[in-house]
Structure 1
Amino acid sequence: MPTKTRMNVYFEPALLKQVEVLALRRNVSKSAVIEAAVASFLSEDAAERLEAVLARRMDRLGRQIDIIDEDIAILGETVSLFIRFWLTITPPLPDSAQALARVKGLERFEGFVQALGRRLAKGDRFIKELSRDIPATRASEVDSAIGDENNDLT
């Protein structure tokens, strides 16, 4: 059996506790756990394993970005359709009604902000609800209906 050289190293207490737990669970010495970890870290396939881990993480991040892009596109379309609709159907107010309209608008906006805060606190998201409410098979029907509405608004 080859001779081993003693080496003193310092560990954070939490890391040493993990080494001790693993050694007990596997019924091996702490030195064996540390030696295996260092050997694994220094092995030639360590770089390949690290690359595989990073590739999986990058793939996951890419999928999350795709979902965010889709959510932002839905949000942008929703807001633009609402603004277009609102601007198209809202008649101008006479000067005598402007002050009352501002007060009512501020009141409604405050209610909107409170409702938004409650939804965000509960974790509800419109886009997720929308994707649950509209099955993928109806997506083309919805696209057609939105196209028809756009034509009606112009």
Structure 2
Amino acid sequence: SEPWVAMVALSVRVLRRCVTSLLLALFCLPVAVLIFDTLPQRHAVHHSQLQVTEAKNTTWYSERVMEARMAWRRRTLKEACSRFGLDIPGNDSLHRPNAWEFLINKKHHLIWCNVFKAASSSWMYNFNILAGYKPEFLKNN
């Protein structure tokens, strides 16, 4: 056999490997670019979804804490009313509401009982504004 035939056969094998590698590289390179190029975008989307989920979980947790606090307050109120006999109907002074203790604004669906040293001045001012008094009038009185 001639040496050039062996050389051609070797060249064909090398060329075949190169072509296969080249085709594989030409196919894999764009796919790799697409995958790795969109990773930051996908990460950003995942991160924003994670933030929304965390916000929802925080809101859910806050609501549960508030519900538990309000349940405790209702229970405490019920126990105190029961202790003083206010959980049963009666016609004495403890069972009758004192009209002068409440400010009622039907238009805005508000009822307020003045508790001194608990923003009472602010609420009195707000109820007077809702009743139609001008701020200038209230400042002068």
**Range into which the TM-score falls when normalised by the shorter chain:** 0.3 to 0.5
Larger helix percent:
1
Task: Tell me which of the two structures has the higher relative contact order, counting C-alpha pairs closer than 8 angstroms and 6 or more residues apart.
Answer: 1
Higher-Rg structure is 2
Larger strand percent:
2
Q: TM-score, normalised by structure 2?
A: 0.38
Q: TM-score, normalised by structure 1?
A: 0.35
